[in-house]
Structure 1
Amino acid sequence: MQRFLVLLLLLLPAAAFAQAWEPYANARFGFSVDIPPGFTLSREADNGDGRTYANGAATLAVWAHYLTSGDFEEEVADRRVTYQQEGWDLSYDRQAAGWASLSGTRGDTILYHRVVRLCENAVASFVLEYPQAMKAEVSPFVGKLVKSLHPAEGCTSAQGAAPAAAQ
């Protein structure tokens, strides 16, 4: 009996991670991303540009928008400056043609922002924010979120521009 309980406790985290991810496709901007298990829809944008999900104190915002001034690189640079002005200590900052990832902390909150280039001068992003206390539960989702955020098929100007992050 004791062995059974130990085995059950060892398998619980793996079982929780193996739960179904919910696909989200945004028809307005032509991108998709997989939503981790445990995150429930808390708000849908009225204009159809994205959604916000919650899992306890963790939030996941997924959206897209058109670049109104500047190019992709300027968009990422502006976001970087805004985070720094808001007091985020960015400890991870990686950018390549067509994608960027920024991560850091502010107090006991962790932030991960992934942005990818889309067609028609648009970009899609997800921002995952969660308290340090939820790190063991939430941080394993980041890799799959990064891999799943991509432009729709047929978006030839962005196709291949946002490769999955190295694990």
Structure 2
Amino acid sequence: MQRFLFLFLLLLPASALAAEWEPYVNARYGFAVEIPPGFTLVQEADNGDGRTYKNGDAELRVWAHYLTAGPFEEEVADRRTTYQQEGWDLSYDRQTAGWASLSGTLVDSILYHRVIALCDDAVATFVLDYPQSMKAEISPLVGRLVKSLHPAEGCTNAQGTAPAAQ
């Protein structure tokens, strides 16, 4: 019986043993992202612009909004400046015309911020904030989160080809 169980587990695809990522689609702004296993919904914005998920002390915020203060580049520059004023040490900072990623540390916290341009002068964002103690568990999720954040089909302001997350 043990040999049968062992053979059965060997033949199962790895994906069958792995927890599933949950899709989140925001119809109001026209974007989607996959939520990692272990993150549970704790709050949905009343206005429909996004959600907050938690996994222990890790927090994932996903939302969108219309650009009001200027073009995409200024939006990212403002966010970068705010993080630096808050004391974040940004060790990763990449930007193109359609996407940007910022990552850094502050005391015992790690931050990863991804923003993409959407249609109609809107942007979609996720911010993943977690303690250093969860780095081994959370860091491997960032690449898939980055790849999964995308505009709705038909939006021509797609983020383009992005490098792998760091």
Q: Compute the TM-score of the two structures, normalised by the length of structure 1.
A: 0.87
The 3-state SS of whatever aligns with 1:19 is: coil
Cα distance in 2, alignment partners of residues 18 and 111 from structure 1: 25
Computed over aligned residues only, the root mean square deviation of the Cα atoms, in angstroms, reads 1.7
Q: Which amino acid aligns with 1:56?
A: G
Per-residue CA deviation, residues 112-154 of structure 1 (Å, 9 max, x unaligned), is: 0000000000000000000000000000000000000000001
Partner of 1:8 in structure 2?
none
Cα distance in 2, alignment partners of residues 37 and 162 from structure 1: 26
Per-residue CA deviation, residues 93-119 of structure 1 (Å, 9 max, x unaligned), is: 000120000000000100000000000
The 3-state SS of whatever aligns with 1:91 is: strand
1:150, 1:162 within 8 Å by CA — same for their partners in 2? no
Structural mapping, 1:3-152, within 5 Å: 18-152=18-152
Cα distance in 1, alignment partners of residues 162 and 42 from structure 2: 27
Q: Which amino acid aligns with 1:71?
A: P
1:102, 1:113 within 8 Å by CA — same for their partners in 2? yes
Q: Which amino acid aligns with 2:78?
A: D
1:117, 1:162 within 8 Å by CA — same for their partners in 2? no
Give the alignment partner of residue 163 of structure 2, picking from 140, 162, 165: 165
Post-superposition shift, 1:164? Answer: 3.8
The unaligned stretches of length 5 or more in structure 2 are 1-13
Post-superposition shift, 1:165? Answer: 3.0
Q: Which amino acid aligns with 1:166?
A: A
1:19, 1:37 within 8 Å by CA — same for their partners in 2? yes
The 3-state SS of whatever aligns with 1:104 is: strand
1:67, 1:123 within 8 Å by CA — same for their partners in 2? yes
Structure 1 consecutive aligned stretches of length 4 or more whose deviation exceeds 3 Å? none
Post-superposition shift, 1:69? Answer: 1.6
The 3-state SS of whatever aligns with 1:153 is: coil
1:92, 1:104 within 8 Å by CA — same for their partners in 2? yes
The unaligned stretches of length 5 or more in structure 1 are 1-13
